[in-house]
Amino acid sequence: MRVAEIYINQINKNMDRSFDYYIPDFLEPMEIGLRVVIPFGVKNSKIDGLVVGIKESSEYKRLKNIEGIIEDYPKLNDWQIKMCYWLQKSYHCLFMEAVNCFVPSNLHIKKKKENGRNTYYMANALHEVKYYKLSGKYFKTEDYLAQIKSNATKQREILSCLEEIPVSFKELKEKTTCTTANLNILIKKGLITESKEINIRNPYKDREYQYPVNTLNRHQQEAFDSFNSYEKPSTFLLHGVTGSGKTEVYLRYIEETIKRGKSCIYLVPEISLTSQIIGRIMGRFKENIGIIHSHLSDGEKIDQWNAIKNKSVRIVLGARSAIFAPMDDLGLIILDEEHENTFKSNNRPRYNTYEVAKKLQEFHECHIVLGSATPSVSSYYEALYGHVNLLELPERVKSIPMPEIHIIDMKEELYAGNKTVISRKLHNGILQNLKRGEQTILFLNKRGYSTFVFCRNCGYAVNCPNCEISMTYHHNIKQMACHYCGHKEHVPTICPKCNSDKIKYTGSGTQKLEMQLRKYYPQARILRMDTDSMQRKGAYEETIDLFQQGKADILLGTQMVTKGFDFKNVTLVGVILADSTLNIPDYKASERTFQLITQVAGRAGRGDKLGEVIVQTYEPNHYAITLSQAYDYKGFYDQEISYRKMMKYPPFSDIIYIGFTNEDEVQVSRDCLKYYDKLYKLVKEEEGEELLREMYQPTASPIKKINKKYRWYFIIKTNHLLQYNSILNKLSEEKEIMELHSTLIIDINPNNIL
């Protein structure tokens, strides 16, 4: 019998390797990439796995037999398995975490008898979730606790956490450190009960859309022709000012690629994946469009998979995760709003979508198109000096001039006696817009009401008990909330430290701004758009629709309002405080500020009327602000790239973040230092001085604790990413490193280092 190498579908670092199994004759011909059911462990419990290799014999002597193949399960191709190994090695994740990018992971496997043999199939339309609650035997938690021994800490933890309302296993695991074994004991004792519920998937409903073909202007035509002149797989950067008609160019690229018999992936930031863009693409192409985002259920994912595999879907529109769509004849990958940080994953695997796309080019003859009004300096640098072709759209489609940007020095407002967050110029602009019946967008990058609540008498600040960070006051729920762990608590009316009642609220967020606006402009109809007000499903699109239809005068909100919407009647845009992004301690702060101002400014004056933008700041002379005022992308790029070069920041280096988290403050520092030492020795042995100099000393994170877990980290600013990656992979296999108690996070070029 032949032998199969099988990875088991278990996310666990001890299981990040293959296991050998015999292939019984009735399962031949076995193929790499198939999903199988195998007996595992002492109990031979049936578990699913992925075949990654086939060989004639095994070193290991006591092999078990594969039980069966899971029918209809998406089979991974050779290129997909190669991508998984690459993801694992490049981003330091488990192999199965990489696999789960490509295929749905929560299999619901059913068994049936056929010709006297067990065969397996998926019942993924139904996804069962286990819920737990207190049995209802007693009234108070204390009574439950009295039933178990004092040293049963895990069980006590579970009981204290549970209520009479069912809680899913997943939620319970986030709050406690329980296992199914602990829960089963409590069930046996009759203290808690278990129930199962089925997640029902709701299929995506098609609507009728129309999006007529727009004729291309000169620059668009040039961008189109240039793209077409490349036969070999190439990469392009489409740099087009806001309103220059990038979408139309993308659609032409897609049309052309489909004509050549190839398929396309069109990626947008998750937040931009709205009915507007879906409507445009569905309205243009008569083909089926696959829509992929991270909120799809496993059943929906399988549906999309099959539709792509049998080629009834040739165009996939989606957020970051859609880069893993199983296109075998990929011809084009578009990354729209290329500069957005959502193209970098913050969960394992912590991949960068552009890098994944470049890797895909090794397996597919496909073009990559990056598009943005404010390209990331790394991409622009590549376009100037690397293998990326620069395509420019320097004019707006209808030659509408860019709105004029005014910079307001808020220090001068203070001197003039204006203590509000709205400058006199912005105030007059809003009043005038209200009078003329034109719309206003206000951007403030802080949600909540007040971001810092403290006692004026003794300096006591309301900090989260789980995190070392100040909590934000939320007026809608009248509670303090932590933006890192979600913890909520009551608002102090008297200081718990000194009993003073001089509690002060500072740091205005969107909620406070909304209240102030309602006070100043009682006649105005105001909409607020931030993660808090957009919780409800569909709220985001409803708000957009309301504003689009002119049913509100002012739209205020966080990042969300900067996205590429086409509101024709918006003639005034206000940036309440540009400094809030500028002062983030991160090398990308200037870039981010420039991008935000440019993006939000692009919302003004999209119709026939001229627009105006007012940027309020305490640093009116910062180059990110003055150059965005001048719409001088190139000027900004030049300044920023010389700063990056001087400081050896990306694109002149890669930053490897190596972080540890643990509930024990001492343990986490010990583990981090130990890892650092081990790495230091290994680098010294294998590489030498040059790489050693790229390692920075470990320290506690700027936010020392998040969600009860203390954090330590160090970074490596390197020009030898490949060498470091292989050393880090080698280190992860060492026993002493495997045994570290703290959770290890390795992030290559992370979005932030908090």
Partner DNA sequence: AGCACGCCGACT
Partner DNA sequence: GTCGGCGTGCTC
* Residues within the interface to DNA (CB under 7 A): 10-12, 14-15, 19-21, 39-45, 58, 60, 62-64, 149-155, 179-182, 185, 739
- Smaller CB separation from DNA, 614 or 740: 740
- Smaller CB separation from Zn ion, 386 or 465: 465
Q: Is 93 known to sit in a ligand binding site?
A: no
Interacting partner of 676 out of DNA, Zn ion, none (Cβ under 5 to 8 A depending on kind): none
Give the Cα separation of 751 and 588 in Å (integer): 9
Reference 625, options 683, 575, 573, 669; nearest CA is 575
Contact 125/297 with Cβ under 8 angstroms? Answer: no
In angstroms, give the least distance from the CB of 666 to DNA. Answer: 16
Number of alpha carbons in the 13 Å side-chain half-sphere of residue 347: 7
In angstroms, give the least distance from the CB of 171 to DNA. Answer: 15
Q: Please state whether the peptide bond connecting residue 29 to the residue before it is cis, i.e. omega within 30 degrees of 0.
A: yes
Give the Cα separation of 610 and 436 in Å (integer): 13
Interacting partner of 399 out of Zn ion, DNA, none (Cβ under 5 to 8 A depending on kind): none
Give the Cα separation of 87 and 94 in Å (integer): 9
- Smaller CB separation from DNA, 148 or 524: 148
Q: Is 464 known to sit in a ligand binding site?
A: yes
Give the Cα separation of 391 and 428 in Å (integer): 40
In angstroms, give the least distance from the CB of 497 to Zn ion. Answer: 5
Q: Is 178 known to sit in a ligand binding site?
A: no
Length of the chain: 754
Question: Within a 10 A sphere around the Cβ of 16, how many other Cβ atoms?
Answer: 19
- 359: amino acid identity, one letter: K
Element spanning 190, H or E: none
Q: Is 344 helix (H, G, I), strand (E, B) or coil?
A: strand
Q: Which residue in the set 87, 191, 254, 467 belongs to the binding site for Zn ion (CB under 5 A)?
A: 467
The full DSSP string for 543-556 is HHHHHHTT--SEEE
Give the Cα separation of 179 and 159 in Å (integer): 13
Burial string for 282-313 (b: 16+ CB within 10 Å, else e) reads bebbebebbbbeeebbbbbbbbbbeebeeeeb
In angstroms, give the least distance from the CB of 60 to DNA. Answer: 4
- Smaller CB separation from Zn ion, 278 or 455: 455
Contact 389/235 with Cβ under 8 angstroms? Answer: yes
In angstroms, give the least distance from the CB of 465 to DNA. Answer: 23
**Locus of tokens 């990559």:** 368
Interacting partner of 10 out of DNA, Zn ion, none (Cβ under 5 to 8 A depending on kind): DNA
Q: Which residue in the set 96, 455, 462, 576 belongs to the binding site for Zn ion (CB under 5 A)?
A: 455
Interacting partner of 497 out of DNA, Zn ion, none (Cβ under 5 to 8 A depending on kind): Zn ion
| Paired tokens of 647 | 């400081």
Q: Does 463 bind Zn ion (CB under 5 A)?
A: no
Interacting partner of 40 out of DNA, Zn ion, none (Cβ under 5 to 8 A depending on kind): DNA
Radius of gyration of the chain (CA): 28
Element spanning 572, H or E: strand 570-575
In angstroms, give the least distance from the CB of 62 to DNA. Answer: 6
Give the Cα separation of 443 and 421 in Å (integer): 12
Interacting partner of 181 out of DNA, Zn ion, none (Cβ under 5 to 8 A depending on kind): DNA
Contact 727/686 with Cβ under 8 angstroms? Answer: yes
Interacting partner of 455 out of DNA, Zn ion, none (Cβ under 5 to 8 A depending on kind): Zn ion
Give the Cα separation of 680 and 685 in Å (integer): 9
- Smaller CB separation from DNA, 63 or 721: 63
Burial string for 675-697 (b: 16+ CB within 10 Å, else e) reads bbeebeeebeeeeeeebeebbee
Question: How many residues in the shown chain lie near Zn ion by CB under 5 A?
Answer: 15
- Smaller CB separation from Zn ion, 187 or 485: 485
In angstroms, give the least distance from the CB of 398 to Zn ion. Answer: 48
Q: Exposed, middle or buried, 177 (CB in 10 Å: 0-12/13-18/19+)?
A: exposed
Considering only 117-125, 262-270, 426-434, 458-466, which stretch makes contact with Zn ion by CB under 5 A?
A: 458-466
Interacting partner of 484 out of DNA, Zn ion, none (Cβ under 5 to 8 A depending on kind): Zn ion
DSSP-assigned letter for residue 463: B
Q: Does 495 bind Zn ion (CB under 5 A)?
A: yes
- Smaller CB separation from DNA, 11 or 414: 11
Give the Cα separation of 38 and 544 in Å (integer): 50
Number of alpha carbons in the 13 Å side-chain half-sphere of residue 512: 21
In angstroms, give the least distance from the CB of 510 to DNA. Answer: 39
Q: Is 485 known to sit in a ligand binding site?
A: yes
Locate all alpha helices (DSSP H) within 189-309, ordered by sequence: 218-228, 246-259, 275-284, 298-309
Q: Which residue in the set 275, 418, 457, 531 belongs to the binding site for Zn ion (CB under 5 A)?
A: 457
Interacting partner of 495 out of DNA, Zn ion, none (Cβ under 5 to 8 A depending on kind): Zn ion
Considering only 121-129, 221-229, 369-377, 498-506, which stretch makes contact with Zn ion by CB under 5 A?
A: 498-506
Q: Is 366 known to sit in a ligand binding site?
A: no
x-or-dash string of contact with Zn ion, 272-311, rule CB under 5 A: ----------------------------------------
Q: Is 467 known to sit in a ligand binding site?
A: yes
Interacting partner of 505 out of DNA, Zn ion, none (Cβ under 5 to 8 A depending on kind): none
Q: Does 708 bind Zn ion (CB under 5 A)?
A: no
Interacting partner of 498 out of DNA, Zn ion, none (Cβ under 5 to 8 A depending on kind): Zn ion
Q: What angle do CA 322, 325, 331 make, to 5 degrees?
A: 100
Considering only 108-116, 336-344, 460-468, 591-599, which stretch makes contact with Zn ion by CB under 5 A?
A: 460-468
Interacting partner of 487 out of Zn ion, DNA, none (Cβ under 5 to 8 A depending on kind): Zn ion
Contact 404/251 with Cβ under 8 angstroms? Answer: no
In angstroms, give the least distance from the CB of 10 to DNA. Answer: 5
Reference 582, options 572, 594, 567, 600; nearest CA is 594
In angstroms, give the least distance from the CB of 88 to DNA. Answer: 17
Q: Which residue in the set 121, 169, 484, 643 belongs to the binding site for Zn ion (CB under 5 A)?
A: 484
Contact 567/439 with Cβ under 8 angstroms? Answer: yes
Q: Which residue in the set 108, 487, 678, 717 belongs to the binding site for Zn ion (CB under 5 A)?
A: 487
Give the Cα separation of 196 and 129 in Å (integer): 6
In angstroms, give the least distance from the CB of 96 to DNA. Answer: 11
Interacting partner of 674 out of DNA, Zn ion, none (Cβ under 5 to 8 A depending on kind): none
| Paired tokens of 455 | 């006692």
> Which residues are annotated as part of the binding site for Zn(2+)?
455, 458, 464, 467, 482, 485, 495, 498
> Which residues are annotated as part of the binding site?
455, 458, 464, 467, 482, 485, 495, 498
State the residues that interact with Zn ion by CB under 5 A. 455, 457-458, 460, 464, 466-467, 482, 484-485, 487, 495, 497-498, 500
